[in-house]
Structures are given as structure tokens and as C-alpha cells.
Structure 1
């Protein structure tokens, strides 16, 4: 039997690893430990340029060191966003229907918007978006989930908040563009979950937030 070569410090390189019973591949113990957690991993960016300057956001091209070589990737450069899962006194969640041109559909989704006000904290942006898109204010706020919507092609991070203690906003906002014909609908959480699982609604943020709220309640 051939012995595995020792590591640079004389340690066994297989230490801290074990085989996945399904695939036989080596797994790192620190990755498969009791706490499932994303891992920050910095790389050396050798070049970074705007490949396309858009009306709303840009496409950035970066070349970076990875492994024994370099890679080049292009991604949508995004300011980040917020969304609000608003729950009323009858335990219904607010859904809004809005036209989305890239998919040419009127999606059912949550009140949401970009972090496009310099220095504005995500919670304040969420308050603003709920008022602007649904003419509502909330007395109680708490984080629900934070998600990277498409980490292979965008650096977008969206913060989803749960809002309760709802009342009418003191000011009714004038809406234009795709927001001019927004439709508001209050639905029971179970109805929203059914719509997600049946494939009747396709907005990823809506899906994630509704299922997270359902899981939150099922765990008490």
C-alpha cells in the first residue's frame, strides 16, 4: 500500500477529512460540521472594469487569481435591495402584482426596491418602499431572511423584513412607470404557500420569504 505524502509541516494531509458515503469524495470536516454556514473567501482581483454601463445597473468584468491560474467573470453590479413581508391583523400577507419586462409577466411579489439612496440603512429603505408601493406603515419590524438572488451572475444582496402592526401611511404616493398599475392583494399564508408549491407564482423573493415565514411559524 502506498502511503500518502505528508503535508509541508509533516501532518497527514487527509486529517480533517472523511469520505462522503454517497460519492466517495473527500469532505472537509470544517465544511460538513454541525453549523451550515457560507464561507467568506477573498481572492486577488487583478483587473476590474465596467464592461457595459446600463440605465439602471452595470455589467462588470473582473479577472482574478484562483487556484493555480486566473479566471475572468462578468456579473451584474447591483446596489442591493430590500423587500417586505407585511402581515396584517387577520394574519394575511400582502402581495403585489407588477409588470416585469425581462420576463414579460405580471409577477406576484412583495413590496421591494433598490438600496439606491446613499447611506440609507436597509430597514429605512424597507419602511420607504412599503409606504411608496402599498401606502402602509408598520409599527413592528424584524429581519426575516437575507439572500443572494443569483450569486453566479450578480452581486445583489436583498434584505427581507417582516412587518406587522400595519396602518395607512400619512401620505399617498404617486406611482409611475411599472408601479403605476400595481395591484395589491391580501392572501392567507397557506394560500401563498400553495401558490408557490403549485408553481403558480415564480418570483424568487416572494417564494423564499413565504416559505421562510411558513417555516418560522411551524417552528414556533
Structure 2
């Protein structure tokens, strides 16, 4: 056990994707300290490999936070209540690139920026891909290229 504990938190801002809180903690010596913490629902991403074994399907889409287009693997936040991470990955793959994976294998799970945010991401390998209907959901997805 680390000896650190959280005493409480106060919501500063609740947004569409994240919630910012001021949190109070106690260290092992009994001293209180505060940190700003971003609560995030978590995310999934998929490395979709075509049957040739050499081709990975990527998306280029605008990212407002960095004000430019980025080349990425298909990804998205956990935004369906109670949805398992593997199911969310399958959904994002279909929505963003129009492929259904016959197999999804978990590659990694990690905290993106644990110094201030609780976002946990899971990366899957998508294999045995079959084309399906593309169903772009957001404004960035409607304007991205595959």
C-alpha cells in the first residue's frame, strides 16, 4: 500500500468528454495536498491489419486540441454506458473505417497521462477484417479520410 489517500474532490468543470476536479489528497506523513485531476471515461483503439498482413488501415482526421489533421489508428472514447472495451473497439472500427473484425486481440492497456488524468486506453489488434457499412458519427469523422 502506498500510504496516499484521497480526501475528496470538487467539480470545477463538467464537459462533454471530461470532468475537471480539484482533488485533496493526504500523503504518508499526513500532509494534505491538492491536484487538478481530469476524469475521462476511457478509450479504445484498433490496429486493423488487412489479410495481406502488410497493410494497416489508418485514418487522417482533424484534431481540435492540436489544430491539425493527424494520421491515426481508429479510436474512440467509451461513450456507451456499460459497453465492454472489446465491443467499443469493434464499434469504433466499423464507424470509422467500415470494417468488421473477425478477431480482436488485446495488445496493451495503459494510462495515457496518469500525472493528471485517469483516462485508461486499451489497444486491440483487428484481424480477419470484412468490409461493412461505414457509419461516421461526429463532425471530424465525416471529414476524415481512410
Larger CA Rg, structure 1 vs 2: 1
Cα gap change, 1:84/1:77 in structure 2, threshold over 3 Å: closer, same or farther? same
The alignment status of 1:86 with 2:53, answered yes or no, reads no
| Counterpart selection for 2:135 from 173, 176, 186 | 173
Measured in 2, the distance between the counterparts of 1:58 and 1:150 equals 15
TM normalised by structure 2 equals 0.92
For residues 117-169 of structure 1, what are the alpha-carbon distances to aligned partners after superposition, in whole Å with 9 as ceiling and x for unaligned? 11110000000000000111011111011111111121000000001101111
**Residue 146 of structure 1: aligned partner:** 109
| Counterpart selection for 2:37 from 58, 75, 93 | 75
**Residue 59 of structure 2: aligned partner:** 96
Which ranges of structure 2 fall in alignment gaps of 5 or more residues? Answer: none
Measured in 1, the distance between the counterparts of 2:90 and 2:28 equals 43
The answer as to whether partners of 2:49 and 2:126 remain within 8 angstroms in 1 is yes
| Counterpart selection for 1:105 from 62, 68, 72 | 68
* Structure 2 SS opposite 1:123: helix
Cα gap change, 1:125/1:42 in structure 2, threshold over 3 Å: closer, same or farther? farther
Higher helix share goes to which structure?
A: 1
Q: Which runs of 4+ in 1 moved over 6 A?
A: none
**Residue 156 of structure 1: aligned partner:** 119
Higher strand share goes to which structure?
A: 2
Aligned length: 144
**Residue 88 of structure 2: aligned partner:** 125
Q: Structure with the greater relative contact order (CA < 8 A, sep ≥ 6): 1 or 2? A: 2
TM normalised by structure 1 equals 0.62
